[in-house]
Amino acid sequence: MQLTVARAGFLTTVQDTGRAGFRELGVSPGGALDVHGMRVVNLLAGNPETAAGLEITSGNVRFQFPDSRVVAWVGGEYDVSATGLSVPAGRPALLHAQEELSFAGPSRGCRAWLAISGGLDVPVVLASRSSDVRAGFGGWHGRALRDGDVLPLGKNPALSAALIRSLQGARIAPWTAPFEWASPAERSPVLRIVRGNDWDRFTEASRRAFLSVKFVVSPESDRMGARLEGPLLERKNDTELVSEAVVPGTVQVPPGGRAILLLGDCQTVGGYPKLAHVITCDLPRAAQLCPGEQVWFCEVSMAEAHLLLSERTRALETFKIGLSLRR
């Protein structure tokens, strides 16, 4: 069974929860920029959490379905609809054969993630189905989708098949994912950070500015990182640093003083000083930064970062139990 991409939009790629184990060889973790969101949509569609879905980055995107499938999406404020049916974020919806699902937007935020029951059955390359578009492998022939692409779909898992039966009448499930998971995009978000290893190398004025002045996301932003325009962040001296690991969420500052917030397709190592790191819990909101958006940063302790993450993990477990009771 195959999914037809009638309109591929600006940048639509196959992504799953990412590629672990190859950083040592320079391979980015990649995957959905909102890994948590990807897990949530898969669970809603009855898939294993790590199934491959689609990451949509603005524009008009349309898919045609070969047979009955449960779909679910989360992300920025997109208008998502299927023949006469509006599909809200975070709720499973039933699509029939030959039906078309369309995304338009976003009016807020940047990206959306779509799971289709059965998942996209593209080959696993280096332990993941994610597209590494920069390196040109994984996903669908290592590239973004184009109009007319036809992608293989896996078989509906038993959970999805049961959902398909139960959604025959209403088509949209009455239950929903928590609002902040379904719609993480905010206007002028405040992202929480912990200090980076090179925090103390920056002048006090720059550190203060970083935590008290808004930054604007530059148009030269992509899946590797969001470039930020704002106060120039200066170091006390220009000592050259030995390159070391960077991670999604790292805020690095190249000479010139303009910060870059790294995202999932970032390089594995970098030689620029690391001022801060956006906490893991806030990466879904970081993934919603679109060019022109304003963003603020505020500091939290490491303990708070871990507490927030452990609360979210617990909430996801509860969410899974809730879903299993509804079937």
Judged by CB, which is closer to another protein: 89, or 266?
Answer: 266
- Part of the chain binding another protein (CB under 8 A), chosen from 74-82, 171-179, 296-304, 319-327: 296-304
C-alpha to C-alpha distance for 48 and 157, rounded to whole angstroms: 9
- Part of the chain binding another protein (CB under 8 A), chosen from 50-58, 88-96, 275-283, 291-299: 275-283
Structure tokens at 142: 């290592």
Torsion angle defined by CA atoms of residues 228, 229, 235 and 241, in that order, rounded to the nearest 10 degrees: 40
Query: How many residues at the interface with another protein, by CB under 8 A?
Result: 45
Buried b / exposed e along 34-68 (16+ C-beta atoms within 10 A) = bbbbbbbbbbbbbbebbbbbbbbbbbebbbbbeeb
186 closest CA partner among 91, 279, 113, 295: 295
Q: Is 273 in the site for another protein (CB under 8 A)?
A: no
Judged by CB, which is closer to another protein: 55, or 282?
Answer: 282
Q: Is 269 in the site for another protein (CB under 8 A)?
A: yes
C-alpha to C-alpha distance for 268 and 196, rounded to whole angstroms: 16
Q: Is 34 in the site for another protein (CB under 8 A)?
A: no
Judged by CB, which is closer to another protein: 235, or 274?
Answer: 274
Q: Is 279 in the site for another protein (CB under 8 A)?
A: yes
Q: Is 204 in the site for another protein (CB under 8 A)?
A: no
Q: Is 200 in the site for another protein (CB under 8 A)?
A: no
Judged by CB, which is closer to another protein: 170, or 269?
Answer: 269
Q: Is 16 in the site for another protein (CB under 8 A)?
A: no
Q: Is 224 in the site for another protein (CB under 8 A)?
A: no
DSSP 291: T
Query: How many CB atoms neighbour CB 313 within 10 A?
Result: 12
114 closest CA partner among 173, 51, 172: 51
Q: Is 143 in the site for another protein (CB under 8 A)?
A: no
C-alpha to C-alpha distance for 9 and 244, rounded to whole angstroms: 36
C-alpha to C-alpha distance for 112 and 75, rounded to whole angstroms: 4
- Part of the chain binding another protein (CB under 8 A), chosen from 46-54, 112-120, 149-157, 189-197: 189-197
> For another protein, what does the binding mask look like between residues 64 and 103, x meaning CB under 8 A?
----------------------------------------
Q: Is 13 in the site for another protein (CB under 8 A)?
A: no
> For another protein, what does the binding mask look like between residues 245 and 264, x meaning CB under 8 A?
xxx-xx--------------
Q: Which amino acid is at 208?
A: R
With CB under 8 A as the contact rule, the residue among 307, 318, 321, 327 that binds another protein is: 307
Query: Could you give phi then psi for residue 23, rounded to 5 degrees?
Result: -60, -40
With CB under 8 A as the contact rule, the residue among 16, 34, 55, 132 that binds another protein is: 132
CB of 307 to another protein, least distance (A): 4
Burial class (CB in 10 A: 0-12, 13-18, 19+), 75: buried
C-alpha to C-alpha distance for 268 and 264, rounded to whole angstroms: 10
Q: Which residues bind another protein (CB under 8 A)?
A: 20-28, 125-126, 132, 134-138, 194, 196-197, 242-247, 249-250, 267-269, 274, 277-280, 301-303, 305-307, 309-310, 313
